[in-house]
Amino acid sequence: MRAQDEADIVACIPVLRRYARGLTADPDRADDLVQDTLERAWARFSMWHKRGEIRAWLFGIMHNHFVDRLRAQRSRPQDATGDEGLDMPQRATQADRLELRDLERALRRLSPEMREVLVLVGVEELGYREVATVLGVPIGTVMSRLSRGRERLREELQGRAGASPQASRIQLVK
Amino acid sequence: MTMDGMPRESHHGPTGPAPITEADLHAYVDRQLAPDRRAEVEMFLSTRPEDLERVRHWQQQNEAMRGLLDPVLEEPLPLRLPLQWQRPPWSWRGLAASVLLAAASAVLAWSWRGAVDAESVRQASTPAPRALVAAEGGGLTGFAHQAAVAHAVYSPDVRRPVEVGADQEQALVTWLTKRMGTPVHAPKLGPLGYDLIGGRLLPGDQGPVAQFMYGASGGQRLTLYVTHDATVQDTAFQFGRDGSVNVFYWVEGRFGYAISAGADRDELLKVSQEVYRQLKPG
């Protein structure tokens, strides 16, 4: 493999770690996910054929590993709560930290499928079509997960702040 | 929403602008709209306080998620992550061997530090410090020549001057350290007006060579070339020229360093002394 390709993958690692941490708050589990992804990526590199952006390809591999892990976890219910939020990186002030905690907790309560979409769109700034490709679902599914995920977060976070509940209902826009 | 749930790309039907959908509002938040559609959404929101409030909250969610997750980018990469292609990807033996190798080179590096320490103490007490023995070189040979060539090849590249950018400095340093088999880091030259752009790995005579690239505000570029398999004895700073590229280089232990730039000799000497100071142990 060319040094440039190798460097391209290496350059994606910090971003992969950030995305994994969005999926799984436990840093060790998140790095397990990154490690699996990289091992697969190095082994499968020849299959990539430069059909698209390398970052999206890596996110796709990570998605597959994430789904496998979820499946394994769901068949062992005692582990299902194992990744409840812990140890997020913290460098904020006391007040900010509280808000980040709330957000983190609210994120944990979303379904993993919604979390994937919210983080890919909101943090990794992927286009909606790219997200659909990464997750292997139709774009309509991406949009509905995005919509439900965002509204659920809003309910959770504004609920805490004491906002009126009717304002957080999903409204049909004419 | 449109049929496929996507924000519309063609905005004007026969009856004027297409109606704003929820998908448009999301795409507005995520900056995925064309400018004129964006303007239409803004217009729409200006008369709809409830939707505006919703959109604002979604924007805050994005910002807060980045605030929560961005610190991960600054963390050093854990060593267990595979940073290069490995033959059998799940070979524990291979992993163990590379850990051993890394440990061995770390030990080597430390003992090398010790040796150089003694050397620098000796030098500090001698009247002629290494910095001033710069030989007036003409043509370059060996790694200094390769450094000049690498500088000439990569520094004019506007689009892709480096393989790994300074925004991923941690990844860059971890990667180069693993590939070089010895701790490598990029000196900080900001006070001299040169900011790190990034680095790349190049083939040397016997193994990989690291090249760090720096840029000044005027666009001038400067590269630091570090080889781990210098075959000559320790040398003082030497100066040479290859075409329009000026090079200062020196050897310490098995490490050869070369600083290349279009800048003049005095400027390069200043940078070289700073690099030498920072890479010097202790």
Per-residue pLDDT, averaged over B211-229, amounts to: 88
**Separation CA B189–CA B251 (nearest Å):** 20
Residue to mutate among A34, A150, A166, A171, with most B CBs inside 10 A, is: A150
B9: chain A residues, CB-CB within 8 Å: none
Q: How confident is the model at residue B24 (pLDDT cuts 50, 70, 90)?
A: very high
Are β-strands B235-242 and B16-17 bridged in parallel, bridged antiparallel, or unpaired? unpaired
Range B92-279: architecture per CATH: 2-Layer Sandwich (3.30)
pLDDT of amino acid A51 = 58
Torsion of CA A70, A71, A76, A77, to 10 degrees: 60
For residue B250, pLDDT over 70 is answered with: yes
Report the share of chain B in percent with pLDDT over 70. 73
User: pLDDT over 90 for what percent of chain B?
Assistant: 23
Task: Check pLDDT > 50 for residue B133.
Answer: no
Contact: B82, A38; criterion CB under 8 Å:
yes
Contact A154 B58 (CB under 8 A): yes
How high is the pLDDT of residue B279? Answer: 79
Q: Which of A112-121, A145-154, B226-235 has the lowest mean pLDDT?
A: B226-235
Q: How far is CA A61 from each of CA A35, A36, A86, B220, rounded to the nearest angstrom?
A: 11, 9, 25, 40
Decide if A123 and B65 are in contact by the 8 Å CB cutoff: yes
Q: What is the pLDDT of residue B121?
A: 40
pTM of the model: 0.57
Q: Does B135 touch chain A (CB under 8 A)?
A: no
Residue in chain A lying closest to B4 (CA)? A140
Q: What is the pLDDT of residue A61?
A: 93
Q: In whole angstroms, give the CA distance from residue B73 to residue B70.
A: 6
Architecture of domain A94-174: Orthogonal Bundle (1.10)
Q: Per the structure block, which two tokens stand in for A110?
A: 């979303």
Name the residue with higher pLDDT: A45 or B219. B219
* B92 CB within 8 Å of a chain A CB: no
pLDDT at A85: 42
- What CA–CA distances, in Å, run from B181 to B104, B210, B231? 9, 11, 17
Q: Which of A162-171, B97-106, B208-217 has the highest mean pLDDT?
A: B208-217
The arithmetic mean of pLDDT across residues B23-29, rounded, is: 96
Q: What is residue B188's DSSP assignment?
A: P
Copy the structure tokens of residue B228. 């781990």
Token representation of residue A42? 């190095």
Take residue A54 and report the two structure tokens written for it.
Answer: 């390398």
How far does the CA of residue A17 sit from the closest CA of chain B (Å)?
7
Residue A164: which pLDDT band, with cuts at 50, 70 and 90? very low
The answer to whether A11 contacts B4, with C-beta atoms less than 8 Å apart, is no
Kindly report, residue by residue over A120-141, the tens digit of the pLDDT.
999 999 999 999 999 999 999 9
B-chain CB neighbours of A17 within 8 Å are: 72-73, 75, 77
pLDDT surpasses 90 at B218: no
Helices (H), B32-91: 35-46, 49-69, 71-74
Task: Collect contacts of B226-229 with beta carbons under 8 A, ≥24 apart.
Answer: B226/B180, B226/B184, B226/B255, B226/B256, B226/B257, B227/B143, B227/B146, B227/B255, B227/B256, B228/B180, B228/B181, B228/B182, B228/B204, B228/B254, B228/B255, B229/B204, B229/B205, B229/B254, B229/B256
What average pLDDT does range B168-187 have in this prediction? 79
Q: What percent of chain A has pLDDT over 70?
A: 72
Please name the CATH architecture into which domain A1-89 falls: Orthogonal Bundle (1.10)
Nearest CA in chain B to A16: B73
pLDDT at residue A2, as a whole number: 64
Cα(A7)–Cα(B210) distance, integer angstroms = 12
Measure the CA–CA gap between B144 and B138, rounded to whole angstroms.
12
Chain B residues with CB under 8 Å of A100 CB are 64, 67-68
Where in chain B are the domains? Answer: 12-73, 92-279
Which sign, positive or negative, has the C-alpha torsion A37, A40, A42, A44? Answer: negative
Q: Across-strand partners of B13?
A: B16
Predicted local distance difference test score (pLDDT) of residue A9: 84
Q: What is the reported pLDDT for B214?
A: 92
Interface test with A, best of B9, B31, B58, B69 (most A CBs within 10 A): B69
What ipTM does the predicted assembly reach?
0.81
Note which residues in 12-71 of chain A have CB less than 8 A from chain B. 13-15, 17-19, 21-22, 31, 34-35, 38-40, 42-43, 45
So where are chain A's domains? 1-89, 94-174
- Would you call B70 and A18 a contact, using CB atoms and an 8 Å cutoff? yes
d(CA B14, CA A165): 39
Phi-psi region of A173 (alpha: psi -120 to 50; beta: other; left: phi over 0): beta
Q: What is the mean pLDDT of chain B?
A: 76
Which pair of tokens denotes residue B33?
């709209």
- With beta carbons under 8 A apart, name residues in chain A contacting B87: none
Which chain B residues contact residue A145 at CB under 8 A? Answer: none
